[in-house]
């Protein structure tokens, strides 16, 4: 997967320890807004980054092609592009394809070839197989194969844009000031224990689910082994990848509500479970018995996004920061309050979420964005 030079740390260090910056904003009315504020907010936390990675997730991005899966693909060379494009045409009905527009500039490191494809599953899936499962299988085959290619975004009406550089420079490279969406997430820095390359930056994504992460998951090995039993192929050797796949398993495939999925990732202590009422205690014991290998050990704060909702979650004892705020229809999550106030100084409410408790904001108007009713809990 890409050559060693593509994965090298351009700053010369084997491992650069620094903080991460994460930021998210959703307009709960479903209104699409430009990303200039989000770009300024993540740039305000520049000192939490180290230039080894930055990225953004945008929802409501492709209204004219909202029914197609938007596959964002990076290539190491033209030969891999030709091979993967032949595979895509055999596997999907390709409705539209194009180069991802970019501004060529020196502040991002060795950009790969970047293209996007809008595809329908059509009659390609096996009888009884859902379209989402079919797309996941094709993405796993490309990313886990011998191709010098990587699918880094695969949802409908959304897209991930990421690379090696500071997030504000990645935003400029991808011309994100020209896009609009009702939900934006952003990340600065890079996974703590992996080499710098374009596919390894945040957000990590599968279908319409994206994750930006500040922290370090020491349970990566057991998490990875559990997910591989469900045919997830963890090829990036980084902890955030398993968070994305774990949430896809819990939320999409097993249809758990986010409140229960959070109790899998940030599970209560057994001493807490023992004090619960019998019915609730039985539920939490069942979760631990079923999903014990998906418990995330170590410090973490994540912002999860999918169509119509944004979710914030920290580990039980809040070893990484998270601030939440509301201003009118806008709901914010951020590593630092200062980043929120930079773009919205007069907030209606600002607070620190409880450790291990998910904080959820949803679009409230089906007419506005074709999504679920709003909730900020």
Whether 185 contacts 21, CB under 8 Å: no
Is 20 one of the catalytic residues?
A: yes
CA dist list (Å): 278 to 261, 275, 284: 20, 9, 10
Tokens of 167: 């997030």
The answer to whether 148 and 2 are in contact (CB under 8 A) is yes
In Å, how far from its chain's centre is CA 324? Answer: 18
Q: Which two tokens stand for residue 69?
A: 């899966």
DSSP lists the bridge partners of residue 153 as: 72
Burial of 298 (0-12, 13-18, 19+ CB in 10 A): middle
Query: Positive or negative, the Cα torsion across 109, 112, 114, 120?
Result: negative
CA distance 6 to 41: 28
The one catalytic residue in 1, 20, 58, 119 is: 20
Place of tokens 């390609």: 124
One-character DSSP codes across 336-371: -HHHHHHH-SS-SEEE-PPTT--EEEE---HHHHS-
Return the structure tokens found at 130. 């859902």
Instruction: List, by residue number, the catalytic residues.
Output: 20
């Amino acid at each position: 997967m890409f050559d060693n030079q593509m994965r090298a740390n351009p700053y010369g260090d084997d491992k650069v320890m620094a903080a991460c910056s994460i930021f998210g904003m959703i307009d709960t009315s479903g209104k699409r807004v430009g990303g200039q504020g989000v770009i300024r907010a993540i740039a305000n936390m520049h000192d939490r980054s180290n230039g080894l990675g930055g990225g953004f997730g945008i929802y409501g991005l492709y209204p004219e092609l909202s029914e197609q899966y938007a596959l964002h693909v990076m290539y190491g060379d033209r030969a891999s592009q030709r091979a993967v494009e032949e595979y895509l045409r055999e596997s999907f009905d390709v409705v539209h394809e194009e180069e991802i527009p970019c501004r060529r500039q020196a502040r991002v490191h060795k950009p790969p070839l970047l293209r996007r494809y809008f595809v329908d599953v059509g009659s390609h899936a096996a009888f009884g197989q859902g379209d989402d499962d079919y797309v996941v299988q094709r993405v796993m085959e490309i990313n886990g194969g011998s191709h010098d290619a990587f699918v880094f975004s695969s949802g409908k009406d959304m897209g991930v844009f990421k690379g090696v550089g500071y997030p504000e420079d990645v935003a400029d490279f991808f011309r994100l000031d020209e896009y609009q969406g009702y939900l934006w997430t952003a990340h600065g820095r890079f996974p703590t224990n992996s080499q710098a390359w374009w596919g390894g930056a945040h957000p990590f994504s599968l279908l319409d689910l994206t994750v930006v992460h500040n922290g370090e998951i020491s349970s990566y090995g057991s998490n990875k082994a559990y997910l591989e039993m469900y045919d997830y192929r963890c090829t990036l050797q980084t902890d955030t990848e398993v968070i994305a796949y774990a949430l896809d398993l819990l939320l999409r495939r097993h249809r758990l509500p986010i409140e229960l999925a959070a109790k899998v990732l940030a599970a209560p202590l057994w001493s807490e479970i023992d004090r619960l009422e019998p019915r609730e205690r039985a539920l939490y014991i069942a979760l631990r018995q079923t999903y014990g290998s998906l418990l995330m050990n170590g410090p973490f704060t994540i912002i999860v996004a999918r169509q119509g909702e944004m979710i914030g979650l920290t580990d039980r004892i809040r070893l990484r920061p998270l601030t939440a705020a509301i201003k009118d229809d806008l709901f914010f999550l951020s590593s630092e309050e200062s980043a929120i106030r930079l773009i919205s100084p007069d907030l209606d409410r600002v607070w620190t979420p409880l450790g291990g408790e998910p904080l959820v904001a949803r679009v409230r108007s089906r007419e506005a964005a074709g999504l679920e009713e709003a909730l900020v809990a």
